[in-house]
Chain A
């Protein structure tokens, strides 16, 4: 399968790889939201850490990804897009925008869905830690 130049660029030089600490450390931090989606047996696991300011703006984001090149590129792009956005703005990001930006073929659409899911999961985690009501169905099921 041929990859788009953007996917290759993200694969070779992924943006914002990393974390804000070990799983235990981030669990204890109220300003950090953690989203882990996917499963090893499915061949994709995305981990997104977001650091959110008191004003609800995502100040920093870090990702780790076990998955194909398109999954890595989708999560790398997601971190770029959510930085500087409010959590509500970040929640408005749709997987189709990721598909378009990276020119993902239909067989790779699930990678973009995972990226969207990881944003939702991280925000949900941050909201829960901070006692903010989460939207019903924030963790909407996707057909994939």
Chain B
């Protein structure tokens, strides 16, 4: 770990755990190591107190009541619990039958939403996967058009993890409330970065994760509305009945304490942090576009969270670009960086075109990102793109005025 570390611009993937968070966590590993379920001794009380404090901090961040927070292992578990738990609880027909109910989600959701929905499809539920428009924003109208009498659940993420676009969550939530449909949102890229109020925003179920907001990995939360309506879920983990029976298992006390602290810090710092991050994002996008022709910022120009930008650099393949900026840690939508050898399904679903998906970089910033790092990133990317364009046959064709999309390529 003593080698010089690359500059880190992959915060939509995970963040550094804030040292102030670590400080809160440590005593629960070393001295106050009790189980919050132990009701008869001081160790247990201490642990329970820490959990309840964290529950208050998490609830405060999203305008909820502490009783509405269920601690989980992270957003993947929260999404699974919310989607499968609600579908099974509100199913219109018993297991083994079809016509168990209709669910609406979108094609560019995270796999932790898509895959539970696909599993439910196999179990006899109908699922509509909304096709996002070119700007990536799911609107009220798109959801409204798909609602049916048997719709039981709508799950739409708040902000997209690859392009940072923000969906029309409060309006979709309102519609769901009016129609008495349970509304879940995957808030992993939103909560802690943007002001959230589950009352104002009409949310029934909200998932988020500690490690995307400067907390530890392995801990997350699910908000479960308790009144108007009272949302019930069928548990996935059965056992000791912790977390109001919705999530059995000994609580991850140190993780939860850290999660709570991370929520508190985000609540206090989100505004000033958001302003800083937006300046960085704007600078990255405008200066890269100025230095490099044929760049395209993916997703809606303004409806995006401030910490994520996704840019396609035409005629240059993403993995080779990452190789050219190897001292900057970030992600690409290129096929070569994924196990499946398929380019980003998120970018594909927007109709960006496979070629531009292969050419994309996602840069995501944190509370520790500096002006100097942004300068360095702009210079490095510019240099790497120009190096690769000298080698790019597609750039030559573009310069000759040939329309690349009209060429008959030998696909394989």
Contact = CB atoms under 8 A, between A and B. Distances in A.
A45 B353 contact: no
Contact of A42 (B319, B353, B402, B411): B411
B412 A39 contact: yes
B42 interface: no
A64 B391 contact: yes
Most buried by A among B315, B410, B412: B412
B358 interface: yes
Nearest to A44: B317
A65 B392 contact: yes
A42 B412 contact: yes
Contacts of A19: 396
A66 B319 CA distance: 10
Main secondary structure of the interface of A (DSSP, over half): mixed
A47 interface: yes
B173 interface: no
A43 B392 contact: no
Given A40-B409, A41-B411, A43-B358, A68 B334 contact: yes
A68 B358 CA distance: 10
A41 B394 contact: no
A4 B354 CA distance: 28
B144 interface: no
B393 interface: yes
A23 interface: yes
Nearest to A121: B410
A3 B320 CA distance: 11
Contacts of A58: none
Interface in A46-93: 46-47, 63-69, 71-72
B319 A68 contact: yes
Nearest to B392: A66
Nearest to B399: A22
A138 B319 CA distance: 31
B329 to A, nearest CB: 14
B390 interface: yes
Contacts of A36: 393, 410
Given A66-B393, A68-B336, A41 B320 contact: no
Contacts of A43: 317-319, 334-336, 343, 354, 358
B99 to A, nearest CB: 39
Contacts of B301: none
A40 B396 CA distance: 13
Interface string B349-363: 000011100100000
Contacts of A46: 393
B351 to A, nearest CB: 13
Nearest to A76: B391
B393 A68 contact: no
Contacts of B354: 40-43
Interface string B369-412: 00000000000000000000011111011001010100001111
Nearest to A23: B400
A66 B394 contact: yes
Contact of A39 (B390, B396, B410): B410
Interface of B: 315-320, 323-324, 334-336, 341, 343, 353-355, 358, 390-394, 396-397, 400, 402, 404, 409-412
Given A67-B317, A68-B317, 14 more contacts: A3-B323, A19-B396, A22-B396, A36-B410, A39-B409, A40-B355, A40-B358, A42-B354, A43-B317, A43-B336, A66-B394, A68-B320, A69-B323, A72-B391
17 contacts: A11-B323, A23-B396, A23-B402, A24-B400, A38-B410, A41-B353, A41-B358, A43-B343, A45-B394, A64-B392, A65-B392, A66-B316, A66-B317, A66-B394, A68-B317, A68-B336, A72-B391
Interface of A: 3, 8, 11, 14, 17, 19, 22-24, 36-47, 63-69, 71-72, 107, 110, 142, 144
